Amino acid sequence: MTARKIIHVDCDCFYAAIEMRDDPSLARKPLAVGGAADRRGVIATCNYEARAYGVRSAMASGHALKLCPELLIVKPRMEAYKAVSRQIHAIFRDYTEVIEPLSLDEAYLDVSASPHFSGSATRIAQDIRRRVSQELHITVSAGVAPNKFLAKIASDWRKPNGLFVITPDQIEAFVAELPVSKLHGVGKVTADKLGRLGIHSCADLREWHKLSLVKEFGHFGERLWSLARGIDERPVQTDSRRQTVSVENTYDHDLPDLPACLAQLPSLLEELARRMARLDASYRPDKPFVKVKFHDFTQTTLEQAGAGRDLDSYRALLSAAFARGDKPVRLLGVGVRLHDLRGRHEQLELFAP
């Protein structure tokens, strides 16, 4: 079967790049886009000058200012960012209709059947980068590979303003050197567990039989076995609509009681806020929910219509969910149900007079 040609495009510090483009006086200064520190705001993104001080997305604005007292924090202008995102996607559609948006500033493109540049995915990616730079005056990084997993890694390989290509004959050697922390779905907890098992690179992971990995990691063990060999059969989804946004974490040691669970909420909610900030305007957040998996693998999910999405509301939900089991917890999750506004508008049009 002919290998697919996938491009992953990721804008470089997107919100901050637009702010610097629209106000050149901000360029070459530490800059972040986010909420005010005196209102417990959070950083949505920042430029590379700010990152040099340790400032990162999802960081509390107050902490960011301690790291970088000269940091300029500007309010998000979502309409401006959405407008630029639409322009970028219009450029994408000149090369392919097989596009999977991940957020305003990130997307997969399947150019396997594209006639442009004699079907060269590398030249298509080069031209997309050239046009975004010349027409929109911001930069994007791109990765080209035979599948989504490798294309996403490649786009980060030479950031910012870079292009990296992984050809089919390079996959085996390239993946062997990858740290397991780079694998899709491997967070800190899983990476730590892999490390304790002596697995640090994909070459190490290849030494394990698939059944042994399944025994250690459940169904995710099969995924680890495939990724360690550069295998990823997921297609580019052109109409993948979210129903929820969520964050969950499995802990190395069970959380013994409710206070220990509640102590984990702020970090989970910071990550949830970062993921929600990447949604486009076709979604509206709705009911908050929590997920609790107890040490015996029983689990419960609790949501509440009309509840807020602030820390106190999630505390109340988590307390009620914990009470259903009242035993040590191995996994916590927080999330938000979403209303698909695009689908709602399409349905209304069917009944329009």
Tell me the H-state helices in 228-353: 258-262, 265-277, 311-323, 341-350
The annotation status of 252 as a binding-site residue, yes or no, is no
Residue 229: other Cβ atoms inside 10 A: 15
Question: Is 106 among the residues known to form the active site?
Answer: yes
- In terms of Cβ atoms closer than 10 Å to its own Cβ (0-12, 13-18, 19+), residue 239 is exposed
3-state secondary structure string, 174-233?
HHHCCEHHHCCCCCHHHHHHHHHCCCCEHHHHCCCCHHHHHHHHCCHHHHHHHHCCCCCC
Task: Return all residues near 153 (Cβ < 8 A) that are at least 6 apart.
Answer: 143, 145, 166, 178, 182
CB 163 within 8 A of CB 150: no
| Nearest residue to 174 (alpha-carbon basis) of 202, 199, 206, 135 | 202
Residue 159 identity (one-letter amino acid):
K
Give dist(CA 237, CA 240) in Å, integer: 6
Task: Return all residues near 223 (Cβ < 8 A) that are at least 6 apart.
Answer: 184, 185
Give dist(CA 100, CA 90) in Å, integer: 13
Cα-only R_g, the chain: 22
Which candidate in 106, 177, 216, 271 is catalytic?
A: 106
The annotation status of 232 as a binding-site residue, yes or no, is no
Give dist(CA 248, CA 269) in Å, integer: 10
Q: What's the number of CA atoms in the CB half-sphere (13 Å) around residue 237? A: 8
> Which residues sit in the known binding site for Mg(2+)?
10, 105
Active site residues per annotation: 106
> Which residues sit in the known binding site?
10, 105
